[in-house]
Structure 1
Amino acid sequence: MKNIPCLDLKGQHEQIKAEIFDAFQKVYEKTAFSGGPFVQQFETEFAEYVGVKHSIGVSNGTTALHLAMLSLGIGPGDEVIIPGNTFIATAWGPSHAGATPVFVDCDPDTWQIDINKIEDKIGPKTKAIIGVHLYGQPFDVDRVKAICEKYKLVFVEDAAQAQGARYKNSVVGKFGDMACFSFYPGKNLGACGEAGGITTNSDEYTHHLHSLRNHGSHHRYHHDEIGYNYRMGGLEGASLSVKLKYLDTWNNRRREIAVLYNKGITNPKIKLQKQEDWSDGVHHIFVVTVDDRDGLVKHLADNNITAAFHYPVPCHLQKAYSHLGYKKGDLPNSEYLADHCVSLPMYPELSDEQISLVIKTVNEF
Structure 2
Amino acid sequence: MKRVSDLEKSYVLEVLDSEFRGSKATGMVGRAEVAFSHKFGKKYSMGFVNGTGTLHTALEALGIGPGDEVIVPPLTMSATAFSVLQANATPVFADVDPLTFQIDSKSIIDRISNRTKAVMSVALYGGSPDYEAIKEAIGDLPLIEDNAEAFGTRYHGKEIGSFGVFSSYSLQSSKHLSSGEGGMLCTDSLEHADKARKFQSLGYSAVGATTHKIDKKDIQDPEYLRHEVLGWNYRMSDLIAAVVLGQIERSNELIEIRKRVGNQIFDQVKDFSWLRPQANYQDSEHSFWAAPILLERDDISWRQFRDKFMEFGGKGIYAAWQLSYLEPVFQNLNFQGREKFIDPKISSKYTRGYCPNAEYIQPRVLAFRTNEWDSHHADIQIEALRKTGEFFN
Q: Of 336, 345, 361, which residue of structure 1 is paired with 2:387?
A: 361
Q: Give yes or no for the alignment of 1:84 onto 2:45.
A: no
* RMSD of equivalent CA atoms: 1.9
Distance 1:346 1:109 in 2: 21
SS of structure 2 residue aligned to 1:61: coil
Deviation track 1:164-186 (CA, whole Å, cap 9, x = no partner) reads 21111211112111111111121
Deviation, structure 1 residue 203: 0.7
Report the AA paired with residue 358 of structure 1.
Answer: A
Give 2:288's aligned residue: 283
Give 1:12's aligned residue: 3
**Structure 1's 33 and 278: CA in aligned 2 closer, same or farther, altered over 3 A?**
farther
Q: Of 256, 260, 266, which residue of structure 2 is paired with 1:256?
A: 260
Q: Give yes or no for the alignment of 1:218 onto 2:205.
A: yes
**Contact 1:110–1:274, Cα closer than 8 Å, also in 2:** yes
Distance 2:235 2:306 in 1: 39
Distance 1:226 1:119 in 2: 34
Deviation, structure 1 residue 36: 6.6
Bigger CA radius of gyration: 2
Q: Give yes or no for the alignment of 1:294 onto 2:311.
A: no
Distance 1:279 1:310 in 2: 24
Deviation track 1:183-220 (CA, whole Å, cap 9, x = no partner) reads 112100111x3111111011111111221111111345
Report the AA paired with residue 89 of structure 1.
Answer: A
Report the AA paired with residue 24 of structure 1.
Answer: V
Give 1:203's aligned residue: 190
Q: Give yes or no for the alignment of 1:269 onto 2:278.
A: no
Q: Give yes or no for the alignment of 1:335 onto 2:359.
A: yes
SS of structure 2 residue aligned to 1:84: coil
Instruction: Name stretches of at least 5 consecutive residues in structure 2 with no aligned partner.
Output: 207-218, 220-224, 334-346
**Contact 2:262–2:290, Cα closer than 8 Å, also in 1:** no
Q: Figure out how many residues of one structure are paired with residues of the other and give that number.
A: 350
Distance 1:33 1:130 in 2: 39
Q: Give yes or no for the alignment of 1:127 onto 2:81.
A: no
Instruction: Name stretches of at least 5 consecutive residues in structure 1 with no aligned partner.
Output: 1-9
Report the AA paired with residue 289 of structure 1.
Answer: L
Which has the larger displacement, 61-70 or 27-36? 27-36
**Structure 1's 97 and 356: CA in aligned 2 closer, same or farther, altered over 3 A?**
closer
Report the AA paired with residue 241 of structure 1.
Answer: L
SS of structure 1 residue aligned to 2:53: helix
Q: Map 1:98-109 onto structure 2 (within 5 A).
A: 98-109=88-99
Distance 1:209 1:101 in 2: 21
Q: Of 163, 168, 180, which residue of structure 2 is paired with 1:175?
A: 163
Deviation, structure 1 residue 356: 3.6
**Contact 1:82–1:129, Cα closer than 8 Å, also in 2:** yes
Q: Of 180, 189, 204, which residue of structure 1 is paired with 2:177?
A: 189
Distance 1:100 1:211 in 2: 24
**Contact 1:251–1:348, Cα closer than 8 Å, also in 2:** no
**Structure 1's 33 and 256: CA in aligned 2 closer, same or farther, altered over 3 A?**
farther
**Contact 1:106–1:113, Cα closer than 8 Å, also in 2:** yes
Distance 1:86 1:147 in 2: 21
**Contact 2:314–2:385, Cα closer than 8 Å, also in 1:** no
Report the AA paired with residue 380 of structure 2.
Answer: Q
Report the TM-score, using the length of structure 2 for normalisation. 0.85
Give 1:115's aligned residue: 105
Distance 1:226 1:307 in 2: 45
**Contact 2:65–2:87, Cα closer than 8 Å, also in 1:** yes
Distance 2:309 2:384 in 1: 8
Report the AA paired with residue 46 of structure 1.
Answer: F
Deviation, structure 1 residue 310: 4.0
